[in-house]
Structure 1
Amino acid sequence: MAESVAGRVFSVLDAFVGAPDTLRLTEIARRTGLPVPTALRMVRELVAWGGLERATDGSYRLGTRIRAIGAAAPCPRGLLDISLPALRTLTSRTGGHADIAVPSDGTALCLVSGDRLPLHATSPGKILLAHGHGPLTALRRHTRHTVTTPGTLASQLIRIRETGLATAHEEYALGELSFAAPVLRNGLAVAAVFVTLPTSAPYARVDGALREAARTIGRGLDAPAR
C-alpha cells in the first residue's frame, strides 16, 4: 500500500528531528526516502501552512507555526518531536490520519494539523475531558450525532476512564469516525493520540495500534533527558 499523504508529511517533519537547523531539499528527500518531486510537493505545502520556512540560501527549516505549537505543548521536551515517529507508524498501520492533541483554552489543540477541536464532540477531546482537562459546558451540536446531554456525556467519560479508549462516530463531522487514547506522563494524562478514518473504513485493528502509539509516546516522555 502506498504511503498516505499524511504519512509523507510526517516523514518530512520527522527528517528535521536531530538534524541541523536547516536542510536542503535533496537531504530531505534522502532522509525521507521520497522522490525529490514528491518531497518538493510536501515541502511546498508545509511552507504554505507555516510548518516550514525557506531560508535565503534555498534550504528549509522548521517554521513558526510548528514552533508555536511545540511551545503550547504541556511537555517541556517537545511533545511533537517525540510523537512524530509513533504517529507515522499509526498512520501506516491504520490508513487513517493520526495526530496528537493537548488541552488549550477549552479546546483540543492538534499538534500536527494545528486544528482546534471541541472537547465534547471528538475522541481526543473526550480523552482530555475524562482526565480533567476542561469543564462539561457549551455542548454545541455539530451533527445530529453530537452528544449534548451532560448526563450522557458524563457516563461516556466514566467508560473512557475505565477502558482507556474514546470514540466519536460522526459527532463532529458526518462520514468521520475517530478513536483516541491517553498519553501518560508519570502516570498522568497530558495529551490524547488519535486517528481519524472514514466511517466506511475497516477499523478492527485500530485499537491495538492506537494503544501502542500512546504507550510509545508515553515512554518517550518518561525517558530521562540525555
Structure 2
Amino acid sequence: MSAVGRALSVLDVFDGAACLRLTTIAARTGLPVPTALRLVRELVAWGGLERQADGSYRLGTRLWVLGGQVPCQRRLAEAGRPYLRGLRTATGRPVALTCLDGDRLLVVDELGEAVAAGSHLPLHATAAGKLLLAHGPDALRRQVLGNLVRITPYTVTAPGLLLRQFADIRGGSPATTREERRLGECEVAAPVGPMGEAGPAAALFLTAPSTPAARRAAPLLAATAAALTAHLTPPDSIAEARLT
C-alpha cells in the first residue's frame, strides 16, 4: 500500500467513531504501531486529525471544511436546510437529509441530533436506506442483502422479510423502522427527487420514540420532501446530488 493509501486507511477507520486511541487505529488498519503513530502525527499537523487531552484522536476540522466544499453535497444541504428547519419546528422531532454513498447512507444535513452530518449509516437498518433500496437498482439490493448485520435486537436481517418490506414501500407504504438502528428510536422516510431508474436522489427521515408517533408525522414529512423536490429544479439539480 502506498503512503497515501496508508494515510487514507487511518482516516477511514473513524467512520462511525468519534474518538480512537492509537492502538485501536493500528489494529483496525493493520499497520504497525510506529507506522500508525507517524501517519497520525502527520495528519494532526495537516489538520485532518486532532489529539484530545486524554491522548485519543478525532477527525479534524480541515476535513469538515473540505467536505463541505463538495458541490453535490453542499448544494443539497443548502437547498434542504430551510425545509429541515420547518419540519423540525413543526414536528419537534430530529430530522435528517440523506443520500446514497455506495452501499451506505450518507447524512448530508440534520437538525435535532438525529445523527451527525457526514455520518454513514447502514441502508438496511434505516428508514431512508430502506426507501432508497426499495426504489434502487437490483445490484445494490443484492449487495446489501448479502451482508446484513444485526445492530439491535430488532434489526431485520432476514432477506426475505426485507424484500417484502421493499415491495410494500414501492406499493405506497411508508418506509419505516422500529428500533432497528438504535434502541428507543423509530424512523419514517420520504423520497426527495423524481423516481428514476435508480430511485430518488435523496431521502428525508424523521426520528420519533414510537412507530405511531413516526407515522403521525409521515404526512408532513412527505409534504416537506415534495416541496424540496419541487425546489430542486431543473431535475438535473437533483441528479447532481446523487453520489452513486
Contact 2:187–2:211 at 8 Å: present in 1 too?
no
Question: Which amino acid is the alignment partner of residue 151 of structure 2?
Answer: H
TM-score calculated relative to the size of structure 1: 0.64
| Equivalent residue number for residue 153 of structure 2 | 144
Structure 2 CA distance, aligned partners of 1:212 and 1:71?
A: 28
TM-score, length-normalised on structure 2?
A: 0.60
CA RMSD of aligned residues (A): 2.9
For the 8 Å contact 2:107–2:118, the answer to whether it is kept is yes
Aligned partners of 2:66, 2:91: CA distance in 1, in Å? 28
> Which residue in the other structure is 1:124 paired with?
128
Distance across 1 between alignment mates of 2:97 and 2:157: 24
Indicate the percent of aligned positions where both proteins have the same amino acid. Answer: 36
Larger Rg computed on CA atoms: 2
Residue of structure 2 equivalent to 1:83? 80
Indicate which of 99, 108, 111 corresponds to 1:111: 108
Give the match for residue 183 of structure 1. Answer: 192
- Tell me if structure 2 keeps the 8 A contact 1:100–1:194: yes
TM-fit CA distance, 1:217: 1.2
Contact 2:178/2:211 (8 A) holds in 1: no
Secondary structure (helix, strand or coil) at the match of 1:189 reads: coil
Amino acid at match of 1:124: A
Q: SS of the residue aligned with 1:194?
A: strand
Structure 1, residues 60-89: CA drift from partner, whole Å, max 9, x if none?
A: xxx852652562747xx8111111111111
Secondary structure of 2:106 counterpart: strand
User: Which one has a larger percent helix, Structure 1 or Structure 2?
Assistant: 2
Task: Report deviation, 1:184.
Answer: 1.5
1:186 to 1:168, Cα distance in 2 relative to 1, 3 A: closer
Q: Distance in 2 between matches of 1:141 and 1:213?
A: 31
